[in-house]
Amino acid sequence: MTDLSSQQIRGQFLDFFEKKGHKIVPSFSLIPLDPSVLLTSAGMQQFVLYLEGKKDPLKDFGTWYLTSCQKCFRTADINEVGDDIHHTFFEMLGNWSIGEDSNKGYFKEEAIDLALEFLVDTLELDKDKFWITVFKGGNNIPKDEESIKIWQEKGIPKERIKEFGMEDNFWGPIGEVGVCGPCSEIHYDRGKEFGCQKPDCRPNCKKCNRFIEIWNLVFMEYNKNAKCQMPNAKCYNYTLLPQRNVDTGMGIERLTAVLQNKPSGYETDLFWPIIKNIQKISSKKYKEEKRIFRILADHLRGSVFLIGDGILPSNLDRGYILRRILRRTIRYAKVLNLPENWYVSSIKKLSEIYGSTYFELRTKETEIITVFQNEEEKFGRALDKGLSQFDKLLKRKRKSGKRKIISGLEGFSLYSSFSVPIDLIQELAKERGFEIDIKGFEKALKEHQKISRAGAEKKFGGLGLEKVKDKRQKVKVIKLHTATHLLQQALRDVLGDQVKQMGSDINEERLRFDFSYDKKLTPEQIKKVEEIVNQKIKENLPVKKNEMDYQQALKSGALAFFKERYPEKVTVYFIGDSLEKSYSKEICAGHHINRTGELGQFKIVKEESSGAGVRRIKATLES
């Protein structure tokens, strides 16, 4: 086994695949292009259109073979963080072959060859410690006999090749539907001392982490489709993609742990400097509070990378993910008795570890520290109060001798009064031997949301018009709202369908529209957008609405704002004579002007970035 730093491992991986004709593609932002997905969770995400056969890799990269080290973030396993193998943020090494036929691309055999060559010849890992898993078939997709045969031909004995079903050996899609395929994983046997000692202990053992999955080779040749259009109906089928692809993923933390002969990624050079740093200022030792040190280091690193990509704590979507992990670090810092500003030196250490690969950690260091400071100020005191309230509640409950259950309403009251995330309340309860009625909590939360939504709807279609007292100003806000619909369609005309609404804010002065797009707009593009909107204003088109089912609305091509949860019946506003021939269609509850001719002259006054992959336009209407 070679003795390599994580930096060298990253470099060697990319070098290896570059020498094999792959193009090195830099890591994409943690904010994915596809607005229906919150965070980048796999290396393949930036290549989806190529894997689907909709874009040509040869045109954009000069080759069908790609490789990358991608920043990833997964929340599904957040409760496992602290064990040897799970992280929220991690880096994934990967290689791709896009589209295999007789002339180009590679598939199973070459992918397996490449993986073995890198692990055995370059990294000098002991092949006798490899166990392989393959797809045993399921959902009308056949067993992967071919991979079993190839692995045996490459010298892996049959006893070390294990078959699993959809849950373990079928990868993807990222969302509900999309590209996916059977996969074959390489697991590394770390030895009995890491195991549960059961005689039938094997890869994917539910009791221990003796076998650590290091590399996942996905043979991506399927698409998962929604078979029926009924809302919430879970019926899917799998069809073959127009092309066969290879998509692989290898977590650098696990690989580094194996190569540096450490129990987990936390003891490797990716994490250890942070843990040592925290230990120096804590009254506790890593040995005594391993799980807490690990969660703290994981969440600190995760938060730093999220903020580095432009995410700020909020109560919505990815902002809420950041808020949750930030608040968890604040809470665990208290458990370890860390002093105020404990995070500053660790954030600096993270820049040292990662800054030469991910420059944003260096360039945004001060900003990152400020976000931590602000969140600590906001939440730190509330947490102290929340905790004391919580302990009083538990004391009362213990005295009463009743069952150790916190009701949904009690949980909701803690959550809403002190902004303590519910999973944190749940965790605190569990530590104290209590349970929380999560169903009851969700009911209370829904009830609360219903009441606030009804309030917001009463307020003039959610445009904030209740704040505007003057009738003339109200009309201005409504006009800007209609202009926002025209703007969104014009942007899609000029920049393409990847433009999706990411946010909108209107006051009597201007509209502000955030949308997904990864480049600065050129002056020509801005001019073109303005021209289109003004042309549509000149055409004096009618603005009309139709009520219909949500699914029907989507089918009609109406744009929906992905952050919104829509009811079954929705209103579609369209601009034009009929729904079919309209220029713009959007699901929308707000108020609109009757004809576009009333809008006046549309002007874009500012175009700027609003986070990674998101642009912001401010525009006005002049009469």
Residue nearest to ligand GLY (CB): 249
Q: Which is nearer to ligand GLY, 249 or 613 (CB)?
A: 249
Return the closest-CA partner of residue 61 out of 50, 71, 52.
50
Residue 247 found at the interface with ligand GLY (CB under 6 A): yes
AA identity, residue 244: R
Q: Distance between CA atoms of 302 and 313, rounded to whole angstroms? A: 13
The reply on whether position 180 binds ligand GLY by CB under 6 A is no
* Using rule CB under 6 A, residue 44 touches ligand GLY: yes
For position 576 contacting ligand GLY by CB under 6 A, the verdict is no
Are 481 and 592 in contact by the 8 Å Cβ rule? The answer is yes
The helix (H) or strand (E) run that includes residue 224 is strand 211-226
Task: Give the nearest distance from C-beta 251 to ligand GLY in angstroms.
Answer: 8
Question: HSE (CB half, 13 Å, CA atoms) of 593?
Answer: 23
Q: Answer for the pair 615, 513: CB distance below 8 angstroms, yes or no.
A: no
Closer residue to ligand GLY in complex, CB, 9/532 = 9
- Of the candidates 249, 308, 313, 421, which one interacts with ligand GLY according to CB under 6 A? 249
Q: Which residue type does 514 have?
A: D
Task: Give CA–CA dist 331/54, Å, rounded.
Answer: 46
Tokens 């990509």 correspond to 309
264 binds ligand GLY (CB under 6 A): no
To ligand GLY, the closest distance from the beta carbon of 44 in angstroms equals: 5
Please list every residue from 529 through 548 that binds ligand GLY, using CB under 6 A.
none
Q: Residue 570: helix, strand or coil by DSSP?
A: strand
Indicate the residue among 175 and 557 with the shorter CB distance to ligand GLY: 175
309 touching ligand GLY, by CB under 6 A: no
Closest distance of CB 81 from ligand GLY, Å: 18
Quote the least distance from Cβ 346 to ligand GLY, whole Å: 28
Q: Which is nearer to ligand GLY, 173 or 421 (CB)?
A: 173
Number of helices (H), then strands (E), in the chain: 19, 18
Q: C-beta of 108: minimal distance to ligand GLY in Å?
A: 15
Least distance from ligand GLY to the Cβ atom of residue 570, Å: 34
Distance CA(301)–CA(346), nearest Å, equals: 9
Least separation in angstroms between residue 89's CB and ligand GLY is 14
Q: Which is nearer to ligand GLY, 218 or 502 (CB)?
A: 218
Among 135, 171, 219, 418, contact with ligand GLY (rule: CB under 6 A): 171
CB nearer to ligand GLY: give 252 or 420: 252
Of 125 and 250, the one with the shorter C-beta distance to ligand GLY is 250
Supply the minimum distance, in Å, between the C-beta of residue 348 and ligand GLY.
Answer: 31
Residue 479 CA neighbour count, 13 Å, CB half: 23
> Is position 414 an interface residue for ligand GLY (rule: CB under 6 A)?
no
Q: Which is nearer to ligand GLY, 186 or 330 (CB)?
A: 186
Of these, 29, 97, 216, 346, which contacts ligand GLY (CB under 6 A)?
A: 216
CB of 92 vs ligand GLY, minimal distance in Å: 6
Residue 211 to residue 207: CA distance in whole angstroms: 11
Q: Does 218 bind ligand GLY (CB under 6 A)?
A: yes
Phi, psi of 135, deg, nearest 5: -80, 125
Of 42 and 361, which has the nearer Cβ to ligand GLY?
42
Binder of ligand GLY out of 25, 39, 42, 499 (CB under 6 A): 42
Q: Tell me the number of residues near ligand GLY by CB under 6 A.
A: 7
* Spatial distance between the Cα atoms of 44 and 491, rounded to a whole number of angstroms: 27
Q: Is 168 or 247 the residue whose CB approaches ligand GLY more closely?
A: 247
DSSP notation for 194-211: GS---TT--TT-SS--SE
Q: Could you give the count of Cα atoms lying within 13 Å of 84 in the half-sphere of its Cβ? A: 20
Min dist. Cβ of residue 82 to ligand GLY (A): 21
Is the CB of 255 or the CB of 468 nearer to ligand GLY? 255
Pick left, alpha or beta for residue 53 (phi over 0 → left; psi -120 to 50 → alpha; otherwise beta): left
Q: What's the angle, vertex CA 278, arms to CA 274 and CA 279, rounded to 5?
A: 115
- In sign, the C-alpha dihedral spanning 190, 195, 200, 205 is negative
| Of residues 211 and 515, the one with the C-beta less far from ligand GLY | 211
434, 440, 445, 446: CA torsion to nearest 10: 160
Q: What is the DSSP string of 572-599?
A: EEEESSSTTT-SEEEE--S---SBGGGS
Q: In angstroms, what is the minimal distance from the CB of 68 to ligand GLY?
A: 11
Minimum separation from the CB atom of position 215 to ligand GLY (A) = 9
Q: Which residues bind ligand GLY (CB under 6 A)?
A: 42, 44, 171, 216, 218, 247, 249
